[in-house]
Amino acid sequence: MAYLNTPHSRSIGMGARIYDAWSTYRAEHRQNALYRETTRQLGGLSDRQLEDIGVSRHDIEKLARDQTVSR
């Protein structure tokens, strides 16, 4: 039978696991909020404004995703 055996796996308490889960949730929530805000702002620009900054309308979602994942 295969199992994970790490020295610290048994020493992590319930509080630490809850804190880790909450921290992960908060980080993902912030990342999603930043993605939505980026797509909202870029989507609100005119085609001319997007062209001025070198972005096409169909690239907005990919650009927002790439920028929010890298942070």
Tell me, yes or no, whether 58 lies in a domain. yes
- Residues 48-57 have pLDDT tens digits of 999 999 999 9
Segment 2-47, tens digit of pLDDT: 555 555 555 678 999 999 999 999 999 999 999 999 999 999 999 9
Looking at the structure of the chain, the number of domains it has is 1
pLDDT at residue number 44 = 96
| Host domain of residue 39 | 22-69
38: in domain:
yes
Q: Is 9 within a domain? A: no
Neighbours of 64 (CB within 10 A): 20
Task: State how far the Cα of 12 lies from the Cα of 32, in Å rounded to an integer.
Answer: 28
Dist. CA 30–CA 69, nearest whole Å? 11
Q: Is residue 64 part of a domain?
A: yes
